[in-house]
């Protein structure tokens, strides 16, 4: 629901309140306007002792279960009144007792907080390259705490540098007489020198990724045994004749080992002004931020990893109405521009790839009662997104500087975005040659439809994009061609009924990327297919209550679905992840404070792979207490 009057709101760092309105407006509606961003009013703690919060989205079975070979304290800081201040920093040097190469490196973040406080956005960088994007839980007087473990082996090129570097963490917070919560943070790195013996069905989890799909992905190639079809069957499926297969045998022998390894160099695509954090702050759709780079002449593979989060007027971008609705009803909110967003990358002004971000909900969003003690999908470890730029090495390997930029289609204030350019270098040659063969990137197709009468209205958006890039790189591995096919489908509905008191949000995003590595026109050495779906449904109804309060009832369904198929030489790996949350409840709100309410949340996580291994976890919570947490492995 929206109304005409503008609130007097407290400006908060990074994650703003961004209220629509806060008080009664009889001219428009019989109810006040919900803000979609809240905090808990002072209340009796639900638990006498500090309570642990959790994010079941990142299951522990994907990380090493044994003690690390060594653990390195990286940064310890109390984030009190840090708004407007530079990030906390600490010197980093590789652990002397655990020299590279490492089998695995895991970042371990621990946070504790007690008091009254809003949620905050935070990030950890090493020399300007982002390692983790995270957000905080909203604390209670008795205190909350949580832990985030993330595999950062892919950043080994930064971690192993003998000269070390500088680790930074940004978490802007306000502490005063009202907001008393201080976030106590400890960051350490765990190094594993050798792989532990794989658990049956989990061989692939302990090996670096083939194509760096996402920071959490598992498109992995097992070392110990080859699974899948026999060589003749696989070659037939890939369209290889026996003669072509024989010709490509040499390259086939090299591709698996080289493409398993993390990048040899990582170039941060981030702000040079570290005093405000290394992320770019994007204010509108024309605000494209560039970093001028020059890459080594022997780079044979390139992947751009993008980190992104959205705040203020665009925190709930997937629920924003069009500007016409706001103007026709004389609304004062700036939360508009429709409900579609696309994050894209450009090289020297040329489009090279894009993604629709997964709609992460922070712990103060929609209904904060949903997110205690189980936070929303990805809230503690926001996903990163990868674009394979290998076909564009023909443009970048000319020895000249190039501008690599990031922007947001239809974006409004504000987005925090940065990226890491992962480069693989040919150790056998000081330079390689490359050429862009095919470039097909039509403009995105967007259709919009609006039907409205006063505060009631239905607004739909459909968007689609297809792109195809192909280029060859001639290195010591061979003359390999990389084909990248990308397809995006997006549908959105934002509807208001009952004079604006009932709001329904439906969003469906589908992304599919296909990557092929070939020697010659038909000799496919490796190929991967990566599919992502994330539907979202939110239905909220608002009714007036006494003493300038309102009661909001909300139902939510949120799903993250991933499917990965990778074929390399004689083997094939497959895995699928389905992560779903369902929540419903009500809350009594005054201004931005939740005075009372009740809510229940159910989360189910399912993982399956090509070995027949299956992992599932089912977590239920109600009224701030964890009721059950059951795991099944078979």
Spatial contact of 354 and 182, defined as CB atoms under 8 Å apart: no
Q: In what order do the strands lie in the sheet with 144-151?
A: 51-52, 144-151, 104-113, 183-192, 70-79
pLDDT band at 366 (very low <50, low <70, confident <90, very high): very high
Res. 33: pLDDT tops 80: no
Instruction: Please give the residue that has the higher pLDDT: either 214 or 369.
Output: 369
Per-residue H/E/C for 192-261: ECCCCCCCCCCHHHHCCECCCCCCCCCCECCCCCCCCCCHHHHHHHHCCCHHHHHHCHHHHHHHHHHHHC
Res. 25: pLDDT tops 80: no
pTM over 0.75: yes
- pLDDT, one tens digit per residue, over 432-460 is 999 999 999 999 999 999 999 999 999 99
Res. 3: pLDDT tops 50: no
pLDDT band at 257 (very low <50, low <70, confident <90, very high): low
Q: Minimum mean pLDDT among 5-14, 194-203, 463-472, 489-498: which range?
A: 5-14
| Highest mean pLDDT pick, 22-36, 186-200, 237-251 | 186-200
CA dist 40 → 178, 182, 587 (Å): 12, 16, 10
- In this prediction, residue 259 carries a pLDDT of 59
CA angle 514, 206, 98 (to 5 degrees): 125
The whole-chain average pLDDT of the chain stands at: 85
Question: Which residues fall within 8 angstroms of residue 75, CB to CB, at 6 or more apart?
Answer: 88, 89, 90, 124, 167, 169, 185, 186, 187
Could you tell me what percentage of the chain is helix, strand and coil, using 3-state DSSP and rounding each to the nearest 5? Answer: 10, 50, 40
pLDDT band at 236 (very low <50, low <70, confident <90, very high): very low
- In this prediction, residue 5 carries a pLDDT of 31
Tell me the percentage of the chain whose pLDDT exceeds 90.
Answer: 76
Q: What distance in Å separates the CA atoms of residue 170 and residue 88, rounded to the nearest whole number?
A: 6
Tell me the percentage of the chain whose pLDDT exceeds 70.
Answer: 83
Res. 194: pLDDT tops 90: no
- In this prediction, residue 252 carries a pLDDT of 60
Backbone angles phi, psi at 548, to 5 degrees: 60, 40
């Amino acid at each position: 629901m929206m109304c005409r009057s503008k609130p007097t709101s407290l400006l908060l760092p990074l994650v703003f309140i961004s209220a629509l309105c806060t008080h009664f407006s009889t001219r428009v509606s019989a109810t006040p306007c919900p803000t979609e961003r809240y905090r808990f009013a002072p209340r009796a703690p639900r638990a006498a002792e500090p309570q642990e919060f959790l994010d079941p989205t990142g299951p522990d079975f994907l990380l090493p279960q044994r003690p690390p070979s060594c653990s390195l304290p990286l940064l310890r800081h109390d984030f009190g009144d840090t708004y407007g201040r530079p990030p906390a920093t600490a010197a980093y040097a590789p652990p002397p007792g655990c020299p590279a190469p490492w089998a695995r490196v895991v970042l371990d973040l621990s946070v504790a907080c007690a008091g009254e406080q809003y949620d905050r956005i935070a990030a950890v960088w090493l020399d300007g390259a982002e390692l983790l994007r995270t957000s905080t839980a909203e604390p209670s007087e008795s205190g909350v705490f949580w832990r985030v473990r993330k595999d950062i082996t892919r950043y080994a090129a930064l971690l192993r540098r003998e000269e070390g570097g500088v680790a930074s963490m940004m978490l802007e917070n306000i502490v005063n007489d009202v907001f008393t919560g201080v976030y106590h943070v400890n960051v350490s790195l765990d190094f594993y020198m050798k792989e532990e013996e794989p658990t049956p069905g989990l061989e692939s989890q302990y090996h670096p990724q083939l194509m760096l799909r996402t920071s959490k992905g598992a498109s992995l190639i097992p070392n110990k045994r080859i699974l899948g079809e026999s060589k003749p069957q696989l070659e037939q499926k890939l369209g290889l004749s026996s003669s072509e297969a024989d010709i490509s045998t040499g390259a086939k022998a090299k591709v698996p080992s080289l493409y398993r390894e993390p990048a040899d160099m990582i170039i941060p695509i981030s702000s040079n002004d570290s005093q405000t954090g290394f992320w770019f702050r994007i204010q509108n759709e024309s605000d494209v931020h560039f970093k001028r780079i020059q890459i080594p002449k022997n780079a044979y593979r390139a992947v751009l990893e993008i980190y992104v989060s959205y705040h203020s007027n665009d925190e709930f971008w997937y629920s924003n109405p069009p500007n016409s609705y706001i103007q026709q009803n004389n609304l004062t909110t700036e939360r508009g521009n429709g409900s579609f967003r696309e994050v894209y990358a450009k090289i020297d002004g040329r489009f090279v790839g894009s993604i629709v971000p997964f709609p992460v909900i922070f712990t103060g969003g929609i209904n904060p009662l949903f997110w205690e003690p189980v936070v929303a999908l990805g809230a503690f470890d926001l996903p990163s997104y990868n674009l394979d730029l290998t076909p564009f090495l023909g443009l970048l390997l000319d020895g000249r500087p190039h501008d690599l930029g990031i922007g947001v289609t239809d974006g409004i204030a504000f987005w925090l975005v940065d990226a890491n350019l992962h480069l693989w270098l040919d150790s056998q040659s000081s330079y390689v040659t490359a050429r862009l063969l095919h470039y097909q990137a039509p403009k995105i197709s967007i259709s919009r439809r609006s039907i409205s009468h006063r505060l009631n209205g239905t607004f739909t958006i459909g968007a689609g994009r297809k792109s195809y890039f192909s280029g060859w790189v001639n290195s010591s591995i061979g003359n390999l061609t990389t084909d990248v096919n990308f397809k995006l489908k997006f549908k959105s509905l934002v509807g208001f009924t009952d004079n604006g008191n009932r709001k329904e949000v439906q969003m469906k995003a589908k992304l599919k990327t296909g990557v092929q590595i070939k020697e010659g026109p038909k000799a496919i050495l490796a190929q991967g297919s990566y599919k992502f779906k994330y539907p979202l449904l939110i239905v909220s109804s608002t009714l007036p209550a006494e003493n300038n309060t309102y009661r909001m009832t909300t139902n939510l369904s949120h799903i993250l679905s991933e499917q990965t198929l990778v074929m390399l030489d004689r083997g094939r790996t497959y895995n699928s992840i389905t992560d779903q949350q369902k929540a419903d409840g009500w809350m009594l709100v005054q201004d931005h404070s939740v005075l009372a309410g009740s809510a229940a949340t159910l989360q189910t996580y399912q993982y399956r792979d090509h070995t027949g291994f299956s992992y599932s976890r089912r977590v239920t919570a109600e009224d701030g207490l964890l009721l059950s947490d059951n795991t099944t492995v078979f």
